[in-house]
């Protein structure tokens, strides 16, 4: 049974949430999205969008600790005219810290028969009605396994963290490029989500929104129960290694509990 969406407050969106806790949580989320290969099947859709717009730069919104670019960037750089990817966030990481955490890259591939639902939209100036961008929109995309000879790490100098705070609802005019947001759209209330799309339209930029959330009882319960244990299991693999990360994960398990709560709120 699919549940009706509820917009609840997420811990990482709270202004008083400690920066280090937010960093530990986004490190985990980016690591899992790469290792689980959640988004590489979006590459054909994003490739098509870049071909239509002619953009050579992507401005990634709500990047956190780097998002899925470790597995997605390589194929895009190889198959399109894309030159750079800028990583932006309201709470930005330093370039050094972000590179240590996430710009490591893994071979991009798609799990067989993975289904990904993507809504690609173009809005018109004024009242901005929604129109399909292309035949790839509002469809289920299925593809077989593919591999990339290069990984995100190989293109690390072309993936550039932006040190200044960037509000996804009001992207500065100086940040020109095709916009993406990976599994972050659900953080925004409907009115703010509309503002984000409208801001892209008013700036004359394309935007692609990718979400993998599924609002059904079984996935919600499973993720709520499993997420803390996954955090405990993968934390030794996260970079950079720090005593603070281990303390707030194993001694006082704030991070596992917070990730479980975030997972629940994201799915309801």
Note the CATH number of domain 39-210. 3.40.50
- Mean pLDDT computed over 34-60: 89
Question: If pLDDT is split at 50, 70 and 90, which confidence band does 135 have?
Answer: very low
Q: How many CB atoms lie within 10 A of CB 135?
A: 8
Question: If pLDDT is split at 50, 70 and 90, which confidence band does 268 have?
Answer: low
Name the average pLDDT for the chain: 77
- Mean pLDDT computed over 38-53: 89
Residue that the structure tokens 């095709």 belong to: 178
Higher pLDDT, 4 or 232: 232
Q: Best-predicted range by mean pLDDT among 7-11, 63-67, 106-110, 114-118?
A: 63-67
- Is pLDDT at 141 greater than 50 in this prediction? no
CB 198 within 8 A of CB 24: no
Backbone angles phi, psi at 57, to 5 degrees: -135, 140
Reference 170, options 192, 185, 187; nearest CA is 192
Tens-digit pLDDT profile for residues 173-192: 999 999 999 988 888 888 99
How far apart CA 40 and CA 152 sit, in angstroms, is 12
Under DSSP, the state recorded for 36 is: T
- Mean pLDDT computed over 112-119: 38
Report the interhelical angle of 254-267 vs 19-35 (nearest 10°): 60
Question: If pLDDT is split at 50, 70 and 90, which confidence band does 155 have?
Answer: low
Residues 6 or more apart whose CB falls under 8 angstroms from that of 214 comprise 267
Q: Best-predicted range by mean pLDDT among 2-16, 32-46, 156-170, 246-260?
A: 246-260
- Mean pLDDT computed over 66-90: 90
Strands (E), the chain: 57-61, 84-87, 114-123, 130-132, 139-143, 159-161, 178-182, 207-210
Report the interhelical angle of 254-267 vs 217-234 (nearest 10°): 150
Q: How many CB atoms lie within 10 A of CB 143?
A: 16
- pTM value is 0.74
Q: What is the pLDDT of residue 91?
A: 87
Q: Domain spans of the chain?
A: 1-37+216-268, 39-210
Ordered DSSP codes for 68-131: THHHHHHHHHHHS---EEEE--SSPPPHHHHHHHTTT-------TTEEEEEEEEEE-TTT--EE
Reference 193, options 3, 2, 4, 7; nearest CA is 7
Q: What is the pLDDT of residue 85?
A: 94
Q: Provide the token pair at 10.
A: 């997420």
Tens-digit pLDDT profile for residues 224-251: 888 999 999 999 999 889 999 999 999 9
């Amino acid at each position: 049974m699919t549940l009706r969406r509820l917009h609840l407050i997420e811990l990482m969106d709270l202004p008083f949430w400690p920066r280090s806790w937010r960093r530990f949580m986004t490190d985990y989320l980016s690591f899992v999205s790469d290792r689980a290969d959640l988004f590489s099947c979006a590459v054909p859709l994003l490739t098509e969008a870049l071909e239509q717009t002619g953009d050579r730069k992507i401005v990634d919104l709500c990047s956190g600790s780097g998002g899925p670019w470790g597995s997605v960037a390589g194929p895009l750089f190889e198959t399109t005219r894309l030159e750079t990817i800028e990583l932006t966030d309201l709470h930005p990481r330093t370039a050094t810290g972000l590179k240590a955490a996430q710009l490591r890259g893994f071979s991009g591939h798609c799990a067989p028969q993975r289904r990904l639902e993507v809504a690609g939209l173009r809005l018109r100036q004024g009242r901005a009605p929604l129109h399909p961008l292309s035949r790839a929109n509002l469809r289920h995309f299925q593809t077989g396994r593919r591999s990339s000879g290069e990984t995100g790490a190989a293109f690390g100098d072309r993936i550039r963290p932006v040190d200044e705070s960037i509000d996804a609802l009001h992207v500065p005019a100086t940040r020109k490029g095709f916009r993406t947001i990976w599994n972050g759209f659900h953080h925004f209330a409907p009115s703010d989500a509309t503002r984000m799309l409208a801001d892209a339209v008013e700036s004359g930029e394309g935007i692609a929104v990718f979400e993998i959330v599924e609002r059904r009882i079984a996935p919600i319960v499973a993720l709520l129960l499993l997420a803390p244990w996954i955090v405990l299991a993968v934390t030794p693999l996260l970079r950079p290694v720090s005593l603070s990360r281990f303390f707030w994960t194993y001694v006082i398990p704030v991070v596992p509990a917070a990730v479980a709560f975030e997972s629940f709120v994201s799915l309801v």
